[in-house]
Every structure is written in structure tokens, then in C-alpha cells.
Chain A
Amino acid sequence: MKDSAIVICRCEEVTLEELTNTAKEYKCSARELKLRTRAGMGYCGGRTCRFAIDAILMEATGNQTPDQIPLKYQPPVRPVSFQTLGGGCHE
């Protein structure tokens, strides 16, 4: 197996190669890389691959890691049921 075939995002099965090529081609932001490849958009909410996506992006674009977190965190930061989000359990 080629190194570039390593699966980085398990939920959406996105490989290192796909992420590196996309980052190089579009010189994009972390958000754009996510939207183009779906890496980090699976049911784990990017909790496993977020760090790797940021690292791949910095390497491919040659940018330094910025002080603000590259890929924005959105609530809910843990998997929750629709019932919980809808307020069903509070009222």
C-alpha cells in the first residue's frame, strides 16, 4: 500500500493523497478543504482527523499554523440526539 493511500478521515474515507492534492490545487482554507473532500464532516465531527487535516493543509500550502483555530468548531461538539437538541428533554 502506498503511503499516500492512508485513510485520514475514517468516517468519510478520505485519503492523505486526496487531501494533499486538493490543498495544493486550490491553496484553500481548512473550511474549503473540508467542504471539497468531506474530510471532518462525518459522524465523529472530525474529532479524529481535525489535527491531521490542519497539518496536511499547512504542509501543502507552506503556511504557518495561525493563532486562531483553522477549522471552526461548531456545536454540538459531541454527538447528541435530535430530541436533546430540540429541547424535548428539557421541557
Chain B
Amino acid sequence: MYDAVIIGAGPAGLSAAIACAKWNLQVVVIDEFMKPGGRLLGQLHQEPDGTWWNGIKEANILVEQARALGVDIWCGVSVHHIEEVGQGWRVHTNKERIDTPKLLLATGAAETPAPVPGWTLPGVMSIGAAQVMTNVHRVRPGKKGIVIGINVLSAAITRELQLAGGDVVGMVLPPVNPITKDAGNPRKVMQSLLRISHLAPSAFLRMGGKLSRANWMQKLALTFYPKSGVKMWGIPIHLRKAAVQINGEKEVESVTICSVTPDGKRIEGSEQTMDVDFVCIAGGLYPLAELAAVAGCPFHYFPELGGHVPVHNERMKTPLEGLYVAGNITGIESAKVARAQGFVAGLSIAKETIQSADSAIDKHLENALDEVRKIRSNAAIQFHQDIHAGRNKMESIYKEQFS
């Protein structure tokens, strides 16, 4: 019998397993992908200080550390249901059923769809799928592609596609519809992009970053936005162009794009067609919390955290006895934050499992909590500007309603 079951072998799940194993807990980490590491496996980017973040290397470090401590890692196993039984949880997988006193959900995030006419054609994929094909399977998604959806995530992955030798003709906005909404509005997209402008090797965007407070400046920048786009790493970013239609008989052959006003309205007659054989759709990420939902965990909706988040406290406990969460299921942030949160969750689980009067674990837990706050404040890429506000709100909801 395991002391704890951890669902998700990404940065949060693996580091939680490490923390548990350091306190002599027997744990198993379950992941539906065939390799451990989660989304770390797809990550490769340069930090503002010039160093490279190689996700595969980071994943290997965690996996080796976990295995050395005796953690079991099951890959290619899907959890389809969890339920509270007696003093713990029953985890139903496609292989076996496991009962455990403590259960950690570290299931990460899923991609938000951004519907575009023609998006069901073969050759259209989510940008995360293109990332997995390129960086994990080492398969090129196509010869020439376009990215629909301009955000922090798609900019980072487009850069990875380029590093892998992929030809990306540019990044454009999605068409405005009830699902894409602000993602099709140049003004709103510009505001969110300015937060990563320090990463852009472009004087234009860097200048924009410094002047971002002034609304009129943003408007001016959009009004005079270059027709050929602003280049980031040589890839044209078209803030004033949107995809209208993905074309093709049996698979993607081209994409029709058109110019839009700074508010995202289509300019009739400005349509042009670009020949491509693959299309990456980037709608952003939302916390993947389906198992917390079937468990009956209360939720709260936080746009700043990416959507519906299971209620939890800073120590990663949910209001349900023995159920914990860590990583992107608690809100969209970087892998480094997820890893630090996982460590907190692992220590939380260990503390309640051993229930010793030893204050050493409390000290470790306090340090781990400080580490999360520090990493969050120093994050190079903040997926949402109000992440701190969202986190604080969640903490007070837990305190007021559930403790």
C-alpha cells in the first residue's frame, strides 16, 4: 500500500514525490503519457539572463532523483475516476485500482480551443501538439506553418519550432468569435504581450514595454503598426492581421488572413492567402481539474489563474480530507512555480502522514512556501499580470469558507 498516490509526472508531481520520499513515504506517480516529465519535455527557451532552460534536462534531474529515493513511476496509465472511500481515496486507472490515504492531483493544464473556420482539416493542430511533435517525438509538424493566436505561450513555442528548423511564416490573431473574444482584439493582445517584451530582441517591443502604462501610446503603436509585422527572432508578429479561414481540399493548403482595425474589426477587401501545410492554433491554457470535479471538490472561477480552480490553501490542501493539488491545476504559471508548489504539497502530505511532533518538517514547509513566493515574484514569464491578486483571493476564500 502506498502512503500517497500522485497523479501527473510533471514538475509538480515529481517534486512532490521527491519531498514525500525524503520523509520515507512510499509513493507512486501515475502519468498517462509514455514518458515522465509532463510539459517540461517540450520546453526550451532562453531566460532573460541569457541562460537556457532545457525542460528535458530538468525532467531527467527530477526523475532520477525520485527513482533514487525509491519512488515508483507508472507511465502510460490513465486515471479515469477517483472517489472518497473510508479514510482515503480510491483511484481508478485503466490498469488497476489503488486505495490511498493521500491523493495529490498534479494534472497540469489543457489547451483552450480557438475555433477558426476550417480548423477541422488535417494539418491543423494545437500549438502544444506541435511542441510535443517537435521536441518530444522529433517530428516536424510540416514544411511551412502559421501560428494563429498571439500570446506568451505561442511566442515561446513558435521560437522552439524555429530552433528545430521549422519554417513559420508568421503569427496572426484568431478571428473574433464568442470563444476567442479578447484574443482577437489587437489592443488587448498588445497589452498582454508587453509583459514579455523584455524577452523580445526587438527595439520596438522593448520600447513598448517601457511605455506600456500610457494607453495613447499603445493606440498609436497599433495605428502605425508595420504592415509586414514586427519581427521577433525573425518571425513576423502580425498584431493587425487575423486568420479568416483555413483552406484545403483534404488537408491544409493555405490560410486566408485579413487586416483588422486596432479594435479587431475586419477591414473588407484586405484578404490575402498564405500557402502553408500546417497550422498551429494557440488559445492559451486552462487548469485541467476534471478529477477534482468528479471528487466533488469546490471550485472558484479566476480569470487571472486561467479558469476554474479547485479551492485550496497555500499548503496545497483542498477542503476534502486527504486531497491535495499542485502545479497548473491551481492556476497557469511557469514550470518553476509548479515544481516549487509540488515540493510544498509533498511536505504537506508527509507532515500529515507522519504526524510527528518533530518541528523539522514545519521548518522545511515554511522554507518551501517562501521558495514558491520568491520564484513567483522573479518569474520571467508571468502568464497573467494579476497572478498575485488571484493567489491572495484564493487563500482568503479557503480561510473564510473552509478552515
Contact = CB atoms under 8 A, between A and B. Distances in A.
Given A6-B177, A60-B178, A65-B301, A78 B118 contact: no
B315 to A, nearest CB: 22
Size range of the interface on B? 35 or more
A74 B82 CA distance: 11
A41 interface: no
B299 A77 contact: no
Contacts of A33: none
A66 B290 contact: no
A89 B94 CA distance: 9
Interface stretch (B67-75, B108-116, B148-156): B108-116
Given A56-B178, A73-B290, A84 B301 contact: no
27 contacts: A1-B117, A1-B118, A2-B117, A6-B116, A7-B119, A7-B120, A16-B115, A16-B178, A51-B113, A51-B179, A51-B307, A55-B178, A56-B178, A60-B178, A66-B301, A67-B308, A68-B299, A68-B308, A69-B289, A69-B293, A69-B299, A73-B290, A74-B294, A81-B94, A84-B80, A84-B94, A90-B96
Given A10-B120, A69-B299, A52 B80 contact: no
Interface string A1-14: 11101111010000
A55 B181 CA distance: 9
A60 B179 CA distance: 11
Interface of B: 32, 78-81, 92, 94-97, 110, 112-113, 115-120, 175, 177-179, 181, 245, 286, 289-291, 293-294, 298-301, 307-308
Secondary structure class of chain A's binding surface, majority of residues: loop
Interface in A39-84: 47-49, 51-52, 55-56, 58-60, 65-69, 72-78, 80-81, 84
A47 B293 CA distance: 14
Given A6-B117, A10-B120, A66-B301, A51 B80 contact: no
Contacts of A51: 112-113, 179, 286, 307
Contacts of B115: 6-8, 16, 52
A75 B361 CA distance: 36
Most A-side CB within 10 Å, residue of B112, B286, B293:
B293
Given A49-B113, A56-B178, A78-B78, 12 more contacts: A8-B179, A48-B113, A58-B178, A66-B301, A73-B290, A77-B80, A77-B81, A77-B291, A77-B294, A78-B79, A81-B94, A89-B96
B97 A90 contact: yes
Contact of B179 (A47, A55, A76, A90): A55
A28 to B, nearest CB: 15
A22 interface: no
Contacts of A75: 80-81, 92, 294
Contacts of A84: 80, 94
Contacts of A76: 80-81, 92
A80 B97 contact: no
A56 B117 contact: no
A72 B294 CA distance: 8
Given A3-B117, A3-B177, A73-B293, A78 B301 contact: no
Nearest to A6: B115
